[in-house]
Amino acid sequence: MTGGITAAAAEGIAGGARVLAHGLGGRTDLPLDAVAAIAGGGIAVAASSAALTAAWKRPRLHPEAGRPLPAALARVLDAPALTLAGRALALAAAALVVAAAFAGPPDAAANLAPWALFVTFWVGLVPASVLLGPVWRRVNPLRTLHAALCRATRTPPAGRRPLPARLGYWPAAAWLTAFVWLELVAPNRSDPRAAGTLILAYAAANLALAWWFGRDWFTRGDGFEAYSSLLARLCPVGRRGDGTLVLRTPLTGLMTGAAEPGLTATACVLIGSTGFDGVTRTTYWRDNVDPSSVPAGTLGLAAAVAAVTALYVAALRLSARLTGQDPAALPGRFAATLLPIALGYTLAHYFSFFVLEGQTTFILAGDPFGTGADLFGATGNRIDYDLAGPTLTAQVQVNAIVLGHVAGTAAAHDLALRTPARSPRGQLPVAAAMVALTCAGLFALLSG
């Protein structure tokens, strides 16, 4: 082990590196009965759907609802100085990670870059966005670099031609698909130099596209900013149409009811990829598939995303036929209600990975270039595995999946009440799909 990390820390980090090299990690010593958990989760979602149909007779999640935040707090949150500080910090952190990727130790176990990218940033973006709102849009270092590029080239920030509206979230879906493939399938994905190259290539591509299409490109074209902003719709602090910051019911942000191109694909990629990660940990997959096979992994990932997409689209089209609506329009209109499910899957699969292996980022940040420095006094630290014990992990995983589907069902039900056809039978295919996804998600998570 190079740098100022002691043998004790190296043991913990090396164990984590093996997890990082596989993709996602989690505890496998969970104290629960998988069959009972799967059956109970399916029953809970089915019962909640029935209860919603019986008791929830009118729309309750109004997009413009919410209690305004105190004026002083709203001014602080909207302060330009806070934005500038956040952008400066994000840009400095990104520069440090890239520098560490190329100038730091070549061993992934001792290099900050892959841990910062795959653990702290990718996973940490989820709780940050759900709790704080669209934070990456506010501090995105690519926006900072784009502004500087526009000034240097005397190009208007709005770009040289407008971004075609029909693209919607399709570019974000493509970027996220590429990223999860890299994380779960690609060989040598934890190599620090590869991580640095990935960051620079991603930045260059998106800066070029934003220079041409304008800063609006980042809103739906930058996969990470789009991901953060979509999850931020579930934040309890939101913004009304008039710009006022309000405290609101988290599901309120899903009630646009407008079909957004590519949103279904984006949500299904997130759900399907986490489901695929769970499948790779099942006994069947381990016994029958070579874990190093890129073709097998690629086909498995594609099949998982396709299965989720097919189930969702089929359920919505059947619902449309039962209620006399346009079968082609309904899946897009309800796509935002998949976001709570995506969040639930993400929490279930990433919780222990983030809490446990995420500690490595802090340990390595104290000596990003392997020089023997100890900036944060982290040298010799071990990963504290007691922070996410088996009981807590099991509770988070099961409840995240079940509650994510319950929340998605509630949002879909409220949105259905806003359509001309409000027949309860039209919600039966959606309820069945939710139960199926719940059971499949729990099976993939618990049958390892």
Rounded CA separation 274/256 (Å): 26
* 390 three-class SS: helix
Please give the DSSP secondary-structure letter assigned to residue 157: T
Rounded CA separation 177/197 (Å): 18
* 180 three-class SS: helix
Please give the DSSP secondary-structure letter assigned to residue 382: P
What tokens were used for 318? 């059947």
Task: Report which of 290, 84, 293 is spatially closest to residue 185, judged by C-alpha positions.
Answer: 293
In percent, the amount of the chain with pLDDT more than 90 equals 49
Helical pair 170-184 and 223-231, crossing angle rounded to 10 deg: 100
* pLDDT of 374: 60
Beta bridge partners of 246: 68, 238
Rounded CA separation 49/168 (Å): 31
Q: Kindly give the parts of the chain with pLDDT less than 70.
A: 1-32, 257, 371-381, 420-424, 447-448
* pLDDT of 23: 41
Q: Which residues contact 270 (CB under 8 A, 6 or more apart)?
A: 176, 227, 342, 345, 346
In this prediction the pTM is 0.87
